[in-house]
Structure 1
Amino acid sequence: MRDAYQEQLDTLAEELAGMCDQVADALAKATKALLESDLQLAEEVISSDIRIDELRAAAEEKAFALLALQAPVATDLRTVVSAIHGAGDIERMGDLALHVAQAARRRHPDPVLPADVSGYFAEMGRVGCQLAHKAGDVIRSRDLARAEELERDDDAMDDLHRHMFTVLMDPAWEHGVGPAVDITLLARFYERYADHAVAVARRIVYVVTGRMPGPLAV
């Protein structure tokens, strides 16, 4: 019985880690669609988001079943509760990638981004995907050092997010209000995506140590 129960916990963790990989792929495709005005790729991200929603629902159903049938305690209880919260964080990452793809579709065939800021968003996309993959690695390994790396990687995203405001407030900005609004919203989507990845890693720290790291507004 114990072996079967542990196998269920391991399966749940692997499903959540797989979700991290899927939302990383979604952000990579959404970023490419954004940078290249690729309508087909944007539509692919939009249509595939329902699958991430379904995976969240399935993970939550399994977690609640474990709570009801196994009455876990201590580390196992923290694992199940963190899985419920983590599934929500990962699903939200998928939603944020969806928002990026929707912006690319909304402006098609025109580009969303002026050429002089596209490089920043390429880097935000790279950092976001890296964070999502690392979050999946942390779920699989419960490696606390790896979890701490996400905090440092998130600092890079925060720096990029802040820099975009510097660009937009520069008197030399010549692209008008519309692009400025798009850029403000998009930069926020990437920044929030990163925050949710860090939240997933922090929940693993809680599982392992019994202590939740300092608060993160997500």
Structure 2
Amino acid sequence: MREAYQVELEQLAQHLAAMSAQVAEAMELATRALLEVDLGLAEQVISDDAKVDDARAECEEQAYALLALQAPVATDLRTVLAAIHAAESLERMGDLALHVAKAARRRHPDPVLPEAVRPYFTEMGGAAVKLARQVEQVIQTKDVAAAKDLEAADDQVDDIHRHLFTVLMDREWPHGVAAAVDVTLLGRFYERYADHAVSVAKRMIFVVTGRMPGYGSDEDLTV
């Protein structure tokens, strides 16, 4: 029975890792749709979002079944609880990629981004996808050091996001209010995507250590 239970826990982790791969691909395609003004890619991301939603529902159903039927304790309980929260964050990452794709579709055949800000979104998109790929590996390996490294990549996205406001607030901004609104929203989507990736990584640290990063070193969240 114990061996079968551990197999179920591993399957839950693999489902989460697969979700990470899904949302990484979604943001990669959404960013390409944005930069390349590609309606087909935007439509693909939009139609595939239902698969991410289904994956979250499957993860949560499996996690709640483990809680109800196995009464896990200690590390196993942390694993199940972390999986529930991680699935929610991953689903939100999928939604943020969806928002990017919808912005690309809404403006098609015109580009959403003025030429001056395209390099920033190229960089943010690459960093965001890299974060999601790293999350996939962290879920599979439960590598605490690798999980902590994600915060550096998140800082990169935050720095670009802040710089975008400097660009938008420049009195010489020549692209009008609509473009400024689009750039503001899109920057926020990438910034939040990266934040959710870091949140998932912190959940994996919690699984291993019993402590949730960000709540203070003296607060033990051991279950």
Where on the TM-score scale, by shorter chain, does this alignment land: which range? Answer: over 0.9
In the alignment, residue 193 of structure 2 is paired with which amino acid? Y
Query: How big is the shift at 1:172?
Result: 1.6
1:90 — aligned with what?
90
Which whole-Å CA distance do the structure 1 matches of 2:36 and 2:153 have between them? 25
1:55 aligns with 2:29: no
Matches within 5 A, 1:27-176: 27-176=27-176
Which whole-Å CA distance do the structure 2 matches of 1:145 and 1:212 have between them? 14
Which whole-Å CA distance do the structure 1 matches of 2:153 and 2:114 have between them? 26
Give the TM-score normalised by the residue count of structure 1: 0.98
Gaps spanning 5+ residues in structure 1: where?
Answer: none
1:214 aligns with 2:214: yes
Give the TM-score normalised by the residue count of structure 2: 0.96
Which whole-Å CA distance do the structure 2 matches of 1:14 and 1:212 have between them? 22
Which whole-Å CA distance do the structure 2 matches of 1:192 and 1:106 have between them? 21
Matches within 5 A, 1:185-204: 185-204=185-204
- C-alpha distance after superposition, 1:161-209 (max 9, x if no partner): 0010010011221101000000000000000000000000000111100
In the alignment, residue 151 of structure 1 is paired with which amino acid? E
Query: How big is the shift at 1:147?
Result: 0.4
How many residues are paired up?
215
Q: Which 4+ runs in 1 deviate beyond 6 A?
A: none
SS at match of 2:174: coil
Which whole-Å CA distance do the structure 2 matches of 1:106 and 1:31 have between them? 14
Which whole-Å CA distance do the structure 1 matches of 2:129 and 2:21 have between them? 8
2:5 — aligned with what?
5
SS at match of 2:172: coil
- C-alpha distance after superposition, 1:101-122 (max 9, x if no partner): 0000000000000011011001
In the alignment, residue 33 of structure 1 is paired with which amino acid? A
Query: How big is the shift at 1:55?
Result: 0.3
Which whole-Å CA distance do the structure 2 matches of 1:206 and 1:196 have between them? 15
Query: How big is the shift at 1:129?
Result: 0.3
SS at match of 1:43: helix
In the alignment, residue 132 of structure 2 is paired with which amino acid? A
2:18 — aligned with what?
18
Which whole-Å CA distance do the structure 2 matches of 1:6 and 1:151 have between them? 30
Gaps spanning 5+ residues in structure 2: where?
Answer: 216-223
- C-alpha distance after superposition, 1:121-165 (max 9, x if no partner): 011100000000111111100001100110111000000100100
